[in-house]
Structure 1
Amino acid sequence: MKTRVAVIFGGRSSEHAISCVSAGAVLRALDRDVYDVIPVGITEAGHWVVEDDDPERLVIRDGEMPHVRADRDPVTLGRDVEGRVVLTSITGSTLGVIDVAFPVLHGPWGEDGTIQGLFETVGLPYVGSGVFASAAGMDKGHMKAMFRIAGLPVGPYEVVTNRDWITEREATLARVAELGFPLFVKPARAGSSLGISKVRDEATLVACIEQARVHDPRLVIEAGFEGVREVECGVLIDVDGIPRASACAEIVVKGSHEFYDFEAKYLDDSADLVVPAQLDADTVAELQRLAILAFDAVAGEGLARVDFFVCADGSIIINELNTMPGFTPISMFPRMWAHGGVTYPEVVQRLVNDALVRGAGLR
C-alpha cells in the first residue's frame, strides 16, 4: 500500500505565493509509484481546499505569482471514529486517510509552530521541525537570543515590539541608532526578504520601520556589515537520523539591489547563486559546524537553512535559520544538496521518511 502524503501549501502569510511555488516543485518530485499525493491548499482567507495535482500551475509566469484557488469547497483535517487522520469535506464525506503531512508553508500561520501544533493534536506525522523549533525559528529576535545562549557568533541587534513603538518611540529610535548605520530593519516573523529595508541614515529610519510594521508589528533591527560575503549552509537529517551539513553557497547580488531582496530572489535574476562558495576548506568546515550547532540550538528537526556573513578578516557571524527554507527549483537549499549528490527527489523522500520514523508526539 502506498503512503499517502498531504502536501500543504499557500496559507495566510505574505509568503503565500512563494509557498505555492515551493509546493509545485515538491509535487513534481514525489514519486507516484511510492506515494499517493493529496495537494491541500490553504487560501489567503485561511480556508483549506483540495487543489489539483498540477505542479505546472504553481509556477511564476511573466512575473505573475500563483495562488491557491478560493473557489473550491473547504475541507477539514481531523480524526475519524476509527482514530485515523482524515480530510473531510463540508458535506461530511471522507476524502481520504492521511499518513504524513508535508507542510510547504512559509511565514506565520504555517512555519511558526501553529500548524505543527495542529498535526501534533491529531497525531499526524509531518515533515520538518516541531512546535517549539518552528516558533523559535520564525521569530528572529528569540532565535538570536537562543544562538547567543548557545555561544554562537551573533551580530549586534535590537528587538522593537509593538508596545515599544507605540509608547516609547523616541527612546526606541535612540536605542536603535546606537547600532550605527547602515542597519537593516526586518519584520521579526516574515521571510523571503519581505518588508526588509537597508537604512543608511536616521532620515529614513522611521519610514522603514513603518514599512516593516505592515508585515509584522514586532521587528528586529540589525547592525549592517559592509564588505561581507553572504553564505548559506543547509542541514538535512541523514538516513541514520543524524543532521548533516551541505556544501556552502554564496549569494552575490548584482545590479541596483543593495541586498538579496524579494525581487532579486524571485523575479528579476539579480543575484548569482554560487555553489559551492569559493571559500577555503577551514572556513567551510567551520560554517558546517556552526550550522549544525544552530540547528541543535533551536531543537531543529528534518531540515533547515542557516545564513551567515563571512567577514573580510575571516570571522563568521550567524544571521538566521529557516526551518522551512524555500523549496523552489532555484532555491539555495536544494541546490546545495544537489552539489553534494543528493537530488531534489531524494531530499523530498528523505524528509518524508524521517517524518514517518519520528511520528507525532513527544520525542
Structure 2
Amino acid sequence: MKKKIAVVFGGRSTEHEVSRVSAYSIINNLDKDLYEIVQIGVTQQGDWLPYYGPADKLPDGSWEDIARQDAGLADCNDRKNCKPELARGIAELEKCDCILPVLHGQNGEDGTVQGLFELLDIPYVGCNVLSSAVCMDKVYTKIVLDRAGIPQCDYIVAHRHHILEDEHAYEDEVAAKLGYPCFIKPSNSGSSVGCIKVKTPEELHEALMLAQQYDRKILIEKYVVAREIECAILGNINPKAAQPGEIKPSAEFYDYEDKYVNGSSICVIPANIPDHIAEKIKEYAKAAFTACDCSGLSRIDFFLSRDENGEENVLMLNEINTLPGFTDISMYGKLWANEGIPFTELLNSLIDLAFERKQQNARRTSK
C-alpha cells in the first residue's frame, strides 16, 4: 500500500517563491509507485490550501487561484478582517503518513511549523522544533557552535532598538573588532535575504536600517576573503557527509539572485581542495549537525581562507541550512548525486529517516 506523503510548500516568508520551485522539483522526483502525493500550499497571506491540480502550476504561483476556487475562498489581503484559513490544509495533513515540508525562512524552517507537525503526531522530514529554531537564528547558532569548538567568523550582535535610536550605533564596535568591509545579516532570515556587504563606515547605518526590517536582531560579521564550500549531511544519530562542493558566485557574494533566480554561479563538485581539508570540513559539518541536535538533512556552509603564511587552510563555518533548496540548481541534491544517490533515492531516504526518528522519539505518555 502506498504511503500518503504531504508536500507542504509556499509560506509567508520572503522565500515563498523559492519554496514553490523546490516543491515542484520534489513532486516531480518522488517515486509515484511508493507514494501518493498530497499537495498543500501555504499562501503569503497564511492560508493553508489543499491543491489537487498539476505541479507545473507551482513555480509561477498560478496554483493558488485554482486552490482558492476549489475551496470556495476569495483572496483576502486585509489580514485585519480576514484570518488565515488553516482548517482545510490541516485536515488534509491528518490523513497523511508523513509530511515533507518545503518551507524556507520564517514560519517554515524556524521550528514553528515543526511544532504543528509534532502536535499532529505525524512523522516529518527534517530537523525537530529545537534544532530548526536554533539553526534559523544565526546568533544562537553562533553560541552553540562556539561551545562546540567549531571555528567561525568574528561577529557583533546588533539590536533594532539601538539602530533606530542612534544613527551611529555600533560604529565604534565595528571599527574596533571587525573593520571594513563587513557583512550585515538579519539573524532570522535565509537565502541571503537582507544580507549586505558594507565597505565603509558611512554605509553601516543604511545597511543596518535595511536589515532591521527583516528582524529585530542583526548579525554584523567580519568579512573574510575566502572560497565558499558547502557540505551536505544526511542522517539522524549517525549522519553521513557528502564530499564538499564549491560555489563560485557571479556577484560579490552568493546572494539571493545567484541562488535562485539567474543561476549564474558555478558549482564545482567535488570541490578542488586537498583531501585533508575535505575531511576536516566533513568532520566539522557532522559535529555541528550533532551539536545543534539536527536530524534528517542539512547543508552546512563553510569559508576556506588563507593563513598569515598564505596557506589555504583556515576553515570557518558560515551557516547551517536545515531545509536547503531543492531546485534544479540547488547544491544539496547535486552533492548527493555525486555520491551516487539520485534525487528520487535521496527523497526515499529522507522519508525513511522521518519514520526512523519518529520511532526513536517514541516514549510513554502515561503511567
Q: Normalising by the residue count of structure 1, what TM-score does the alignment of the two structures yield?
A: 0.89
Number of the residue aligned with 2:358:
359
Native 8 Å contact 1:20 1:68 kept in 2: no
Alignment of 1:292-311 (within 5 A): 292-311=286-305
Task: Give the superposition deviation at 1:99.
Answer: 0.9
SS in 2 for 1:251: strand
**Cα deviations by residue, 1:160-219 (Å, 9 ceiling, x for unpaired):** 122332346534332233310111111111111111111110111111111222222221
Q: In the superposition, relative to structure 1, how do residues 68 and 156 fare at CA in structure 2: closer, same or farther (>3 Å)? A: farther
Native 8 Å contact 1:253 1:260 kept in 2: yes
Residues matched between the structures, number: 341
SS in 2 for 1:21: helix
Number of the residue aligned with 2:137:
139
Q: In the superposition, relative to structure 1, how do residues 95 and 303 fare at CA in structure 2: closer, same or farther (>3 Å)? A: closer
C-alpha separation in 2, matches of 1:54 and 1:325: 24
Task: Give the superposition deviation at 1:271.
Answer: 1.0
C-alpha separation in 2, matches of 1:67 and 1:54: 10
Native 8 Å contact 2:228 2:304 kept in 1: yes
SS in 2 for 1:279: coil
| Structure 1, unaligned runs of 5 or more | 60-64, 79-85, 89-93
Number of the residue aligned with 1:231:
229
Alignment of 1:180-259 (within 5 A): 180-226=179-225, 228-237=226-235, 242-254=238-250, 257-259=251-253
SS in 2 for 1:346: helix
Matched, 1:23 2:35: no
Task: Give the superposition deviation at 1:104.
Answer: 0.7
**Cα deviations by residue, 1:80-134 (Å, 9 ceiling, x for unpaired):** xxxxxx943xxxxx79711111011100111000001111112111000000000
Number of the residue aligned with 1:62:
none
Native 8 Å contact 2:53 2:63 kept in 1: no
Give the number of the structure whose residues are more often helix, by fraction: 2
Tell me the amino acid that sits aligned with residue 242 of structure 1. Answer: N
CA RMSD of aligned residues (A): 2.1
Native 8 Å contact 1:6 1:40 kept in 2: yes
SS in 1 for 2:334: helix
Alignment of 1:1-363 (within 5 A): 1-59=1-59, 66=61, 69=64, 71-72=68-69, 73=71, 76=86, 87-88=90-91, 97-167=95-165, 170-178=168-176, 179-226=178-225, 228-237=226-235, 242-254=238-250, 257-312=251-306, 313=311, 314-359=313-358
| Structure 2, unaligned runs of 5 or more | 74-84
Native 8 Å contact 2:185 2:194 kept in 1: yes
Tell me the amino acid that sits aligned with residue 230 of structure 1. Answer: E
Native 8 Å contact 2:151 2:317 kept in 1: yes
Native 8 Å contact 1:16 1:67 kept in 2: no
Tell me the amino acid that sits aligned with residue 220 of structure 1. Answer: L
